[in-house]
């Protein structure tokens, strides 16, 4: 026993020396460049792509002006994935959930385009996210029927839902030359009340369901275990510390960028700010290494983790190579004379000094681009229809920005029903509204979820409590929480207890545009979208209101388009007091 301990200590010292010599944090290398261990697996991964099949343009400084650079896009992702597959090493390509909902591609094709392209790129498995259930279990079922890859989630019970019964596996087991690897899925339990999974689908607690799945695969002789998770980065860390037997957690839900700041940020160029290490190294309950990773959002980053396991299935080494997938760069607003000219050298004419090391340009895969064109071409004319002009950059930050305009549009559309105010949760507004032309496509990027407007009667005390609940969610740091309002003003005291944080609540008067104090026992009709009406963001008061409630059927994006069109001109970004 003493010899074994000493031998391990000697091996550990040698590995530490090699680690320092290699200069790659978190990696243990053989002199020949391979990872040390009995079996090495490459894990490629995405999460929260939200139907963003096209690249996303981002602006950043470069030299004396600005550049706009394309990030993501499935045709370029396909090239990045293929370049790694060609190395011929054991590989799994995984998706951490929220595959759909977020662009016109889903509005028009209901997820068919997403699955078609992921089939073409060669996805091996996906877990289900909350937004995948936004349009009910039948939509999920249709996605699964078209997919050439399995969907896994150990805490979903769909046995009482005819369209999904038997289709969602708790895990899969893959074998690479006799080396078995399990992929266990898990989905945020909040899906039950923030989406529309139907009465026949239930979501169990994460820890006991994952622990049970781990024991089950271990009983089948599998010791290399990956959890494919859609519960968020912080919850992934807790899961890693709590459940024994997990080796790697590939996450989603929180849209978290992980990595070293120097890999993703240049002071003189594009600068992205990671929220932690890639991988984040956690000690499990048995003291063993667990690696936690996530791949940001919208297909802008391809996660790439090489993991080496010993004969017992424990992690011994890893190499982290996540990469932001970039495309063309064009001058944004330097002097104007070069607008629209594509620059090819990493985003600048002088050799690409404006992009950080982990942002790399790829060509488009022609086969995947051809598939995408089948879906994109019919959308283009509709997408680029101009409806108004934004006076300035309207940043998405509650309580102002485009969400405030959205709330005003909700109030405007439902006034004939007697509404006095409108509430819009910040998480339902997904993008900034940049200065310049506002197109139909942009509106659907801002409001991608096809939420319908509800009108609900509340007493003054219920209205006050509803605003308190929304502020509480925001203060707890819940992702996407916060509130945009129309027809209401109030002040917030962050240090006060719940129930006393919101003061000076006033509602817009009918007719003269002034405001009056909200009276406790008076009844007010307000407009909200269906997410809040169902109790999302902790709005139990809205969910339980019984006086009068009606789903108008008006879709938020369509209402916003109508509202912008009737303005007929330049739209100013709301600012000032709440």
Q: What is the pLDDT of residue 452?
A: 82
Q: What is the pLDDT of residue 5?
A: 29
How far apart CA 566 and CA 578 sit, in angstroms, is 24
Q: What is the DSSP letter of 236?
A: H
How far apart CA 159 and CA 73 sit, in angstroms, is 36
In this prediction, residue 353 has a pLDDT band, given cuts at 50, 70 and 90, of low
In this prediction, residue 479 has a pLDDT band, given cuts at 50, 70 and 90, of low
Q: What is the pLDDT of residue 324?
A: 98
pLDDT for 568 beyond 90: no
CATH superfamily, domain 386-571, is 5'-Nucleotidase, C-terminal domain (3.90.780.10)
Token pair belonging to 122: 């060669």
pLDDT mean over 294-298: 96
pLDDT mean over 198-223: 98
In this structure, the strands spanning 39-46 and 488-492 are unpaired
Task: Kindly report, residue by residue over 430-477, the tens digit of the pLDDT.
Answer: 889 999 999 999 999 899 887 889 999 999 999 999 999 999 988 886
pLDDT for 361 beyond 60: yes
User: In 177-223, where do the E strands start and end?
Assistant: 179-187, 202-203
* 50-59, 378-387, 474-483, 544-553: least confident range: 474-483
Of 74 and 392, the one with more pLDDT: 74
**208: number of Cβ within 10 Å:** 12
Order of strands across the sheet that contains 488-492? 488-492, 502-508, 515-517
Domain ranges of the chain: 39-375, 386-571
How far apart CA 320 and CA 248 sit, in angstroms, is 13
Task: Kindly report, residue by residue over 244-282, the tens digit of the pLDDT.
Answer: 999 999 999 999 999 999 999 998 999 999 999 999 999
Task: Please report, rounded to a whole number, the percentage of residues in the chain having pLDDT higher than 90.
Answer: 71
Those residues with Cβ within 8 angstroms of residue 8's Cβ, 6 or more apart along the chain or in another chain: none
pLDDT for 33 beyond 80: no
Across the strands, what pairs with 486?
Answer: 422
How far apart CA 430 and CA 426 sit, in angstroms, is 8
Q: How far is CA 555 from CA 35, 131, 449, 451, in A?
A: 52, 17, 9, 6
Q: Which of 209, 250, 258, 207 is nearest to 226 (CA)?
A: 250
**Could you check whether the bond before residue 279 is cis, i.e. omega within 30 degrees of 0?**
yes
Backbone φ and ψ of 220, nearest 5°: -95, 10
Q: What is the mean pLDDT of the chain?
A: 88
Helix (H) or strand (E) holding 457: strand 452-459
Task: Kindly report, residue by residue over 160-189, the tens digit of the pLDDT.
Answer: 999 999 999 999 999 999 999 999 999 999
Task: Kindly report, residue by residue over 76-106, the tens digit of the pLDDT.
Answer: 999 999 999 999 999 999 999 999 988 889 9
pLDDT for 342 beyond 80: no
Please tell me whether residue 247 adopts helix, strand or coil conformation.
Answer: coil
In this prediction, residue 302 has a pLDDT band, given cuts at 50, 70 and 90, of very high
User: In 11-90, where do the E strands start and end?
Assistant: 39-46, 55-62, 65-72
Exposed/middle/buried for 20, CB within 10 Å: 0-12, 13-18, 19+?
exposed
Q: What is the pLDDT of residue 352?
A: 52
Those residues with Cβ within 8 angstroms of residue 224's Cβ, 6 or more apart along the chain or in another chain: 39, 41, 179, 180, 181, 182, 247, 309, 313
Q: What is the pLDDT of residue 34?
A: 61
CATH class of 39-375: alpha beta
pLDDT for 12 beyond 90: no
* 116-120, 204-208, 234-238, 375-379: least confident range: 375-379
């Amino acid at each position: 026993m003493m010899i074994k301990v000493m031998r391990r200590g000697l091996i550990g010292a040698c590995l530490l020396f090699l680690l320092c010599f290699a200069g790659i944090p978190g990696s243990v290398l053989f002199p020949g460049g391979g990872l040390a261990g009995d079996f090495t697996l490459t894990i490629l991964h995405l999460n929260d792509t939200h139907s963003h099949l096209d690249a996303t343009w981002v602006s950043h400084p470069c030299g004396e002006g600005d550049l706009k650079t394309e990030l993501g896009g499935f045709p370029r992702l396909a090239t990045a994935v293929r370049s790694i597959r060609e190395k011929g090493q054991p590989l799994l390509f995984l998706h951490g959930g929220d595959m759909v909902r977020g662009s016109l591609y889903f509005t028009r094709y209901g997820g068919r385009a997403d699955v078609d392209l992921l089939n073409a790129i060669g996805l091996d498995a996906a877990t289900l996210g909350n937004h995948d259930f936004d349009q009910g279990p039948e939509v999920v079922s249709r996605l699964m029927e078209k997919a050439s890859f399995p969907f896994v989630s150990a805490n979903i019970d769909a046995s009482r839902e005819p369209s999904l019964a038997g289709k969602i596996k708790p895990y899969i087991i893959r074998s690479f030359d006799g080396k078995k690897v399990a992929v266990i899925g898990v989905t945020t339990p909040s899906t039950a009340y923030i989406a529309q999974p139907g009465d026949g689908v239930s979501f169990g607690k994460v820890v006991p369901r994952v622990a049970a799945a781990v024991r089950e695969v271990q009983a089948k002789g599998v010791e290399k275990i990956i959890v494919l998770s859609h519960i968020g980065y912080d919850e992934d860390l807790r899961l890693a510390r709590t459940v024994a037997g997990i080796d790697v957690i590939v996450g989603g839900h929180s849209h978290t960028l992980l990595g070293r700041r120097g890999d993703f940020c240049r002071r003189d160029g594009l600068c992205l700010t990671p929220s932690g290490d890639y991988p984040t190294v956690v000690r499990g309950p048995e003291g063993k290494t667990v690696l936690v990773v996530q791949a940001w959002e919208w297909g802008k980053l391809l996660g790439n983790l090489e993991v080496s396991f010993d004969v017992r299935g424990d992690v011994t080494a890893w190499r982290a190579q996540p990469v932001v997938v970039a495309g063309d760069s064009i001058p944004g607003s330097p002097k104007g004379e070069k607008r629209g000219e594509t620059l090819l050298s990493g985003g600048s004419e002088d050799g690409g000094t404006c992009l950080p090391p982990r942002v790399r340009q790829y060509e488009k895969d022609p086969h995947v681009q051809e598939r995408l064109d089948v879906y994109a071409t019919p959308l283009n004319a509709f997408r680029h229809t101009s409806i108004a002009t934004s006076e300035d950059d309207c940043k998405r930050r509650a309580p102002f920005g485009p969400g405030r305009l959205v709330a005003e549009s909700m109030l405007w559309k439902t006034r004939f029903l007697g509404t006095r105010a409108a509430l819009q949760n910040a998480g339902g507004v997904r993008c900034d509204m940049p200065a310049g032309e506002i197109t139909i496509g942009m509106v659907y990027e801002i409001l991608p979820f096809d939420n319908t407007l509800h009108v609900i009667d509340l007493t003054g005390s219920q209205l006050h409590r509803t605003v308190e609940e929304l502020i509480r969610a925001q203060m707890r740091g819940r992702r996407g929480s916060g509130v945009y309002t129309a027809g209401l003003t109030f002040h917030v005291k962050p240090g006060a207890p719940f129930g006393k944080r919101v003061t000076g609540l006033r509602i817009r008067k009918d007719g003269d545009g002034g405001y009056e104090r909200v009276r406790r026992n008076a009844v007010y009709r307000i407009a909200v979208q269906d997410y809040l009406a169902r109790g999302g963001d902790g709005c139990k008061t809205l969910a339980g209101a019984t006086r009068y409630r009606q789903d108008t059927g008006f879709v938020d994006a369509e209402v916003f388009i109508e509202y912008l069109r009737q303005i007929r001109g330049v739209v100013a970004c709301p600012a000032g007091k709440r």
